[in-house]
Amino acid sequence: MDETTNNEEVTQGRQVTQDEQLLETPRADAFTHTDTWRVFRIMGEFVEGFDELATITRGVAVFGSARTAADNPFYAAAQETAALLAEAGYTVITGGGPGIMEAANRGAFDAGGASIGCNIELPFEQQPNPYQTRSLKFKYFFVRKTMFVKYSNAFVIFPGGYGTMDELFEALTLIQTRKIKNFPVILFGSEYWRGLLDWVENTMLKSNYIGEADRRRLHLTDTPAEVVEIIHRSMDALSKLEDESYDI
Handedness of CA 217, 221, 224, 226 (dihedral sign): negative
pLDDT at 29: 59
Q: Is residue 24 part of a domain?
A: no
Q: How far apart, in whole angstroms, are the C-alpha atoms of residue 39 and residue 139?
A: 12
Contacts of 145 (CB under 8 A, 6+ apart): 167, 170
pLDDT at residue 248 above 50? no
Confidence of residue 64 (pLDDT cuts 50, 70, 90): very high
- Summarised one tens digit per residue, pLDDT across range 142-190 is 999 999 999 999 999 999 999 999 999 999 999 999 999 889 999 999 9
Q: Is residue 220 a part of any domain in this protein? A: yes
Asked if residue 127 is part of any domain, the answer here is yes
pLDDT at 130: 96
- Does the residue 223 lie in any domain? yes
CATH number of residue 142's parent domain? 3.40.50.450
Does residue 26 belong to any structural domain of this protein?
Answer: no
- H helices present in 111-189, as ranges: 141-150, 162-176
Tell me, yes or no, whether 47 lies in a domain. Answer: no
On whether residue 135 sits in a domain, the answer given is yes
How much of the chain, in percent, has pLDDT values that exceed 90? 73
Q: How many domains does the chain have?
A: 1
Residue-range definition of the domain harbouring residue 121: 58-247
Residue pLDDT, tens place only, 202-244: 999 999 999 999 999 999 999 999 999 999 998 877 766 555 5
Domain contains 32: no
Per-residue confidence band for 245, with pLDDT thresholds at 50, 70 and 90: very low
Query: What pLDDT does 23 receive?
Result: 75
